[in-house]
Amino acid sequence: MFSRVLVTGGCGFIGSNFVRFVLNARPDVTVTNVDVLSYSGNLENLRDVEDHPRYSFVRADICEAARMRELMHDVDAVVHFAAESHVDRSILDTSPFIRTNVLGTQTLLDAAVACKVDRFLHVSTDEVYGSLPLDKADMRFTEESAIRPNSPYAASKAASDMLVRAAHHTFGLNTSITRCSNNFGPHQFPEKVIPLFVTNLVEGKKVPLYGDGLNVRDWIHVEDHCEALLAVLERGRAGSVYNIGADNERSNLELTHALLTILGKGPEFIRHVEDRLGHDRRYAIDSSKIQNELGWTATRSQWPDALVSTVDWYVKNPDWWRRIKNGEYRYFHEKMYGNRANASPVTGKA
């Protein structure tokens, strides 16, 4: 097993949940977290473990080659989360996505090969597979599905997946790639749909539902994702890809109504806005490979309970999200919507 793990992007949503999960689940593992603290990186996300004897934090950019080689000198394994992660931002400006997601991943792979790191786990996304039709419920993404990314974000993640594949094939690096569906849970940056809608409703504001609201996402609780990642890190086959999901497909309209019900609000709090450009219609994950090979299955993603406890976390932690919404998120919101109440998040047209 691995005793010294380097996590990239550990101050973000999933990375911070993973750092905490590993420290609790593996008493013999030391975690170094390298994060540049971009707009979505937040030291508050790991405040409870910052003095933990098996945890350390380094502020650095994954594109800095010499720094990454230094950090990989004495680690056994790398778990790579660091990324630009929001589809709408990738539509507004693609270049940071190419820099961090593509060049950053390549920089890490080069360092891992040079330092002979034993294991490299690349955290990717189901969005690399593109979109499924709404009227073919039996169709789901498998690890054999074609890579057909539709957004600049998904294209940058697909490119990084190909680089990981090549590092395994050409240099023999012991890699695995995971492709997970939409995560929810505590500490998610409130630009993503669930924390954005919950916090808007708590503030008495309307929620901006894109298009007809019939787009489907397959929701998994972040701790289920973390547990699956640990299973792949420890027991996944070299050169393999594993899909991760919890069989929990919901349309955005269904999700929105569930949130309105939990927070005691009516449908008048929905604001229909123009659709996201290139909006993928449906994601659905077939996770039978990880279930059969590694014996992992989701246990924490059951609705409505998991959604209710997530909403409860945001209700009880207003200081965490208010600081973000009054700070960094405001600039993004202004760029997305301008000052027109019904404007499109992307084109700015009312």
Residues taking part in catalysis: 126-127, 153
**Minimum gap (Å) between residue 31 Cβ and ligand DAU:** 22
Q: Which of 35, 161, 218, 224 is the binder for ligand NAD (CB under 6 A)? A: 35
347 membership: H or E segment, kind and range:
none
State whether residue 236 is helix, strand or coil.
Answer: coil
Structure tokens at 207: 């929620």
Q: Which of 2, 21, 55, 81 is the binder for ligand NAD (CB under 6 A)? A: 81
CB 55 within 8 A of CB 33: yes
**Minimum gap (Å) between residue 48 Cβ and ligand DAU:** 24
Picking from 51, 43, 42, 119, the residue whose alpha carbon sits closest to that of residue 79 is: 119
**Minimum gap (Å) between residue 46 Cβ and ligand DAU:** 20
Q: Closest CB to ligand NAD among 2 and 81?
A: 81
What interhelical angle do 318-326 and 328-337 show, nearest 10? Answer: 60
Distances (CA, A) of 91 to 129, 255, 327: 18, 24, 21
Query: Is position 301 an interface residue for ligand NAD (rule: CB under 6 A)?
Result: no
Size of the site for ligand NAD (CB under 6 A): 29
* All residues at 6 or more sequence positions from 100 whose CB lies less than 8 Å from its CB, including other chains: 38, 62, 63, 82, 83, 84
- Radius of gyration of the chain measured on its C-alpha atoms: 19
The DSSP call for residue 151 is S
Cα gap 181→179, rounded to integer Å: 7
Binding site for ligand DAU (CB under 6 A): 85-87, 125-127, 181-182, 192-193, 196, 208-210, 215, 217, 252, 276, 283
Cα gap 350→348, rounded to integer Å: 6
State whether residue 309 is helix, strand or coil.
Answer: helix
Q: Kindly write out the interface string for residues 93-122 of this chain, putting x where it contacts ligand NAD by CB under 6 A and - elsewhere.
A: -------x---x------------------
Scanning residues 165 to 224, which ones bind ligand NAD (CB under 6 A)? 180, 182-183, 189
Query: Is position 78 an interface residue for ligand NAD (rule: CB under 6 A)?
Result: no
Query: Is position 246 an interface residue for ligand NAD (rule: CB under 6 A)?
Result: no
**Minimum gap (Å) between residue 276 Cβ and ligand DAU:** 6
Q: Which of 79, 91, 111, 123 is the binder for ligand NAD (CB under 6 A)? A: 123
Rounded to 5°, the CA angle 347-154-43 comes to 90
**Minimum gap (Å) between residue 131 Cβ and ligand DAU:** 10
Residue 87 interacts with, from ligand DAU, ligand NAD, none (CB under 5-8 Å by kind): ligand DAU
Cα gap 245→239, rounded to integer Å: 20
Q: Closest CB to ligand DAU among 20 and 86?
A: 86
Picking from 139, 93, 112, the residue whose alpha carbon sits closest to that of residue 284 is: 139
Q: Closest CB to ligand DAU among 33 and 256?
A: 256
**Minimum gap (Å) between residue 92 Cβ and ligand DAU:** 13
Which residues make up the interface to ligand NAD (CB under 6 A)? 8-9, 11-15, 35-38, 40-41, 61-63, 81-83, 85, 100, 104, 123, 125, 157, 180, 182-183, 189
